[in-house]
Chains A and B, each alone.
Chain A
Amino acid sequence: MNIIVLGLNHRTAPVELRELLAIPDSRMGEALMRLRSYPGVKEAMFLGTCNRVEVYAVVEKGEWGFRKLEDFLVAIHFSLSSEDLLPHLYRYSDEEAIAHLFRVSASLDSMVVGEPQILGQVKDAYELALTHRSSGVILNKVVKKAISVGKSVRTNTRIGEYAVSVSYAAVELAKKVFSNLQQQVVLLVGAGEMGKLAAQHLVNHGVKEVLLTTRNHHRALALAERFQGKAVPYDQLRTTLPKADIVICATGAPHFVISKDDIEGAVHQRRNRPIFLIDITVPRNIDPAVKDVDNAFIFDIDDLNAHVGHNQEERLKEASTAEKMVKGEVECMVAWVRGLEATPTIIALRKKAEDIKNTELDKAFQRLGDLTEKDRGAIEGLASAIVNKLLHGPLVTLKTEAQSQNGFAFIEAARRFFELRERELHSLDVESQETEVGDEASEESLSQKDPL
């Protein structure tokens, strides 16, 4: 039994290829069904985001499983051939597969380390697998752990706390001046792309009001519609400034449109309430001398870039902490998976011993004829004692060694020594899976109350 993952991501494949492999939610049931229909594929989950396409599966034999998953991926889109796909694929199995999923979930494998979406995407993928019953004991446990590792990385490190885009950096800096953006008025001067982006971020944070002004008033009106704000005639810029807490300037004009005097006047009229200015264009539109005005805070594109650069460093520092957390969790998970391997072996071994004991006791009782209850009890006790004492050592060894580096070897050895056939193991495996699936299901209904 192996856990494997086959996939490609933003580093290994171009976006054109990733696009082709997207499966819409409506067809996911069918796709997962197909995956499970391959003999030997016991469990499967499909994770598709704009940056990655990955199939996780529990298969009987790794090498063979990878081939089946390749067939599956190629079949997703009619225009794909395996020659197109194979050079872009990565393959991981067992410990590496678990580690990969944990890193993905902790956003350590993302294009932007620390980005928050991936955790939700892993959760969605898991829920689809649950809905379509394509996951089982092992994937349920592993994926749920991956989600909780992702969550704990987010809460226990500051990996996601540092903005890494220029427009978002503007929001983060504004938050160092204003504790509650919902009470602030934003004034967007000009219609430059970066300015609009920064304004959009602020609107997403729920600012109180957006005022817009551009040289071409029609354009301001169009923008006002987009941001549900208010267009202000361009010649009223100076009189509007005091109303604005946050000013974003992106006009593309080759000269200053806001002077030091303008800001001094505004701050005075605002009775020293701070004003926050973002000059996002080159050449600059706000006189840099504004920095000398008390209670006016101005940041240009270089400042924002510096902030982003600083934040990227911080994220990478946090990422190394996160890697350590992930590593520890992977070790625990791998030990669990190995223990699971030992369990059916132990059950099969006990059952075999029990069968032999019962058969031999029946034979003996037939041969001995009339016996008192007491004698029968004594003979039964003797047989049980021999069986249990003989098995005690191997069972303990199996349980403990299953957790060790070469656990699989011990299990394999036990199977050969005691001649445990695959068929016996398999039938027991299914039984134990069913009972555990019951547990998982109830655990799942509990954990759903706990929002991610």
Chain B
Amino acid sequence: MTESLSFLTMGLYFGGTLLFLAFLLHRSEVLVRVAVFVAAAGFFSHTAALGMAIVSTAQIPILTFRDAMSFFAWGLVLVFLVVGLKRGLQVLGAFILPLAFLSLVSATLAPVEAGTIAPVFQTVWVHVTLSILGTIGFAIAFVAGLMYLMQERLLKSKQFNVLNFKLPPLDFLDTLNQRSILFGFPLMTLGILTGAVSAQLTIGSYLSWNPEQVWALITWVFYFGVLMGRVTVGWRAKRAAYLTIVGFAGVILTFIGILMKSPQAIAHL
């Protein structure tokens, strides 16, 4: 049952992705309504699947790579439905839905046991939850950066097409970028700290220098730099957009690091 719900969710997110991309390039009003409806339906079945998993295991399913990615995708779509629709920014769906869909696909392709963490201490739950929420913030910043660069290109090259018409104003995208990082960064900081505490409690060392930890630290330092640069020397607009896209690449590398984690390491943690 949970299995079929997962497939349904993935199918709906895929359908939503196609519809939103079509909406981006055509001027049909019906298309966007259908797209939002399909995305909402996907979110509904996703929520149902999560709910059933919580009921059957009596815990929030985030401790394997698959579950964490699924939770991440769920959070992204939630952000889209709440923020995007409230502000009348359906166009966000054209970027968030593909990301959510790809997350689910990567979760399905990953081995079932990959990245499994044993919940030895409560701090592990806190660590994973905070890290995923922080990642959602960075993902939204990434989407905002991408949209910024697209709109910037269109304005610079004076292409007044449907895409230019549909993408939001530059300063809005820059603000969304900034706010998403301001939301994601503290959560990620706490996520890393609780991760270190969990490691200390389980294997007696805060940091064991494995790839995902290294990437996580590099990424953290990078985002710290992005935030500082904005406040001090005005790294905003186009530069901020580029930086957040690069930063998100670091996030993805961290995820790959988790995925590649050796079974021994899993046994340890």
Instruction: Check A310–B160 contact: CB distance below 8 A.
Output: yes
A205 at the interface (CB under 8 A from B): no
Contact between chains at B233 and A294 (CB < 8 Å):
no
Cβ-neighbour of A271 out of B27, B172, B234, B238 (below 8 A) = B234
Residues from 148 to 193 in B contacting A, C-beta threshold 8 Å: 151, 155-156, 158, 160-161, 164, 167-172
Least CB distance from A79 to B in Å reads 47
Q: Which residues of chain A (267-300) have a CB below 8 Å from chain B?
A: 270-274, 291, 294-295, 297, 299
Note all chain B residues with C-beta closer than 8 A to A445: none
Q: Assuming A158-B27, A299-B158, A310-B160, is B172 touching A179 (CB within 8 A)? A: yes
Chain B residues with CB below 8 A from A295, complex form:
237-238
Give the distance to chain A from B38, nearest Cβ to Cβ, in Å.
21
B236 and A297 contact, CB distance less than 8 A: no
Chain A residues in 8 Å Cβ range of B234: 270-273
A12 interface residue (CB < 8 Å to B): no
Residues of B within 8 A of A310 (CB): 160-161
Residues of A contacting B238 in the complex (Cβ-Cβ under 8 angstroms): 272, 294-295
Secondary structure call for the B interface: helix
**Most chain A CB inside 10 Å of its own CB: which residue of B156, B171, B238:** B171
Can you name the residue of chain B whose Cβ is closest to the Cβ of A299?
A: B158
Minimum C-beta distance from B269 to chain A (A): 42
Q: Report the bound CA distance from A168 to B234 in whole Å.
A: 31
- A183 to B159, alpha carbons, bound, how many Å? 26
Chain A nearest CB: distance from B263 CB in Å?
Answer: 48
Is there a chain A Cβ closer than 8 Å to B29's Cβ? yes
From residue B154, how far is it (CB to closest CB) to chain A in Å? 8
A226-264 interface code vs B (CB 8 A; 1 in, 0 out): 000000000000000000000000000000000000000
B150–chain A nearest beta-carbon distance, Å: 12
In the complex formed, the residue of A with least CB distance to B232 is A271
Answer whether residue B235 sits at the interface, using C-beta atoms and an 8 A cutoff: yes
Question: Across the two chains, which residue of chain A brings its CB closest to B157?
Answer: A291
Docked pose: A294 CA to B170 CA in angstroms:
13
Q: Is B261 an interface residue (CB 8 A)?
A: no
Indicate if A10 sits at the interface (CB-CB under 8 A): no
- Residues in B with CB closer than 8 Å to A294 are 237-239
Q: Which residues of B contact A274 (CB under 8 A)?
A: 170-171, 237
Report, as a range, how many residues of chain B touch the other chain: 20 to 34
A177-B169, A178-B169, A179-B169 known; A306 vs B160 contact (CB < 8 Å)? yes
**Contact call A177/B170, Cβ cutoff below 8 A:** yes
Q: Which of B198-224 contact A (CB under 8 A)?
A: none
Give CA–CA (A307, B154) in the complex, Å.
12
Bound complex: CA A26 to CA B160 (Å): 46
Q: Counting CB contacts under 8 A, is A77 at the interface?
A: no
Q: Which among B27, B168, B235, B239 has the highest number of chain A CB atoms within 10 Å?
A: B27
CB neighbors of B among A137-191 (8 A): 156, 158, 173, 175-180
Q: Give chain A residues whose Cβ lies under 8 Å from the Cβ of B168.
A: 179
Cβ–Cβ contact A303 & B158, under 8 A: yes
The residues of B that contact A271 with a CB separation of less than 8 Å are: 233-234, 236
B236: contacting residue among A173, A175, A272, A311, CB under 8 A: A272
Contact B239 A272 (CB under 8 A): yes
Bound together, the chains give a CA A287 to CA B114 distance in angstroms of 58
Complexed CA–CA distance, A271 and B232 (Å): 9
What CA separation (Å) do A179 and B88 show in the bound complex?
Answer: 13
Shortest C-beta distance, A21 to chain B (Å), equals: 39
Closest residue of chain B to A268 (Cβ to Cβ) is: B234
- A176-B151, A177-B155, A310-B160 known; A273 vs B169 contact (CB < 8 Å): no
Chain B contacts for A297, CB-based, 8 A: 155-156
Find the B residue at minimum CB distance from A178: B171
A-B CB proximity, top 5 nearest: A271-B234, A179-B169, A179-B172, A310-B160, A272-B234
Spell out B's residues near A (CB within 8 Å): 27, 29, 151, 155-156, 158, 160-161, 164, 167-172, 233-239
Q: A179-B169, A314-B27 are in contact. List 11 more A-B contacts (CB 8 A).
A: A173-B155, A176-B167, A177-B170, A271-B234, A271-B236, A274-B171, A294-B237, A295-B238, A297-B156, A310-B160, A310-B161
